[in-house]
Amino acid sequence: RDVAGLDFFSRCHLLDLPWEDVLVPHILCYLPLQHLVSLQRVSKQFHSLIQMYLANCRTFDLSSIGPSIPKEAFCSILKDNKLLHSLSLQNCSAWVTDKELLPVIGQNQHLQRVDMSGCVWLTRHSLVAVSLSCMHLQNLGLAHCEWVDSLSLRSLADHCRGLQSIDLTACRQLKDDAICYLAKKCLKLRSLSCAVNANITDESVEEVAKNCRGLEQLDLTGCLRVRNQSIRTLAEYCPKLQSLKVNHCHNVTESSLDPLRKRNVVIDVEPPLQRALVLLQDVLGFAPFINLQI
């Protein structure tokens, strides 16, 4: 019996296992994408198996290997998938354009998370396509996408009311009117970044504070025109705020930040005394003892 069993296993190949019940859900899901792409070249059977897996995967992340995949391969890999919930295109900025992305967006209407951060060759048409196709979108990354304009953001706000997180870092075409419109439409926003945009003023921050009461994270790094007034409004209307970034916001002072610190909100700038101690330590080479109770 033992000899017969050994003989059976010697003749049993990987592809003899049930594809849909074993290989796809319990084996292929643990392989990195680059290995799956390589497996496709082994044989026609492996190609069919990998295509079956890719057609049914819910998450597609190119953040670690984006530059190494040609655009033709990207189109081939996702051509049959209509079930994606999460799509990450970070680090694909060297080649991904509307031509490659629009078909993927159009056939994946269940997407909840899309990250296009740094994809500089896309245009506003990709954002409009996301807004029209992905009604269940919750998280969107658009950092350093300077092609994002007011009209495309308004389209997103009109159609994706359940949006919870959006990163608009360095989207420098956007001004107060676009951010205010977004805040009025997307009331469920919990995380927002308007960092590195000199167009953003107190008007945007106050509109976000008054409409998005569940806001937990706000990044205003480098928003030079933001002042204490809007930070006080933020403290009044957003009781769930956990994190605030105001580095390089030179018009925001401790008078507006102190009430937030007392609520244990994490703020990326130190209180004035601590900043002074750090500077003194840099100059002297050691931290002097100061009795803070005096």
- The pLDDT assigned to 294 comes to 47
- The pLDDT assigned to 273 comes to 62
> Do 156 and 163 contact (CB within 8 A), yes or no?
yes
- Size of the chain, expressed as the number of residues it contains: 294
Residue 192 — pLDDT band, cuts 50, 70, 90? very high
Is the pLDDT at 282 greater than 70, yes or no? no
Q: H or E segment at 8? A: helix 2-10
Tokens of 106: 């159009």
User: pLDDT digits over 215-250, tens only?
Assistant: 999 999 999 999 999 999 999 999 999 999 999 999
Residue 2 — pLDDT band, cuts 50, 70, 90? low
DSSP characters over 112-178: -EEE-TT-TT--HHHHHHHHHH-TT--EEE-TT-TT--HHHHHHHHHH-TT--EEE-TT-TT--HHH
Task: Output the pTM of the full model.
Answer: 0.86
Tell me what the mean pLDDT of segment 129-139 comes to. 97
- What percent of the residues of the chain are helix, what percent strand, and what percent coil, each to the nearest 5? 45, 10, 45
Is the pLDDT at 101 greater than 90, yes or no? yes
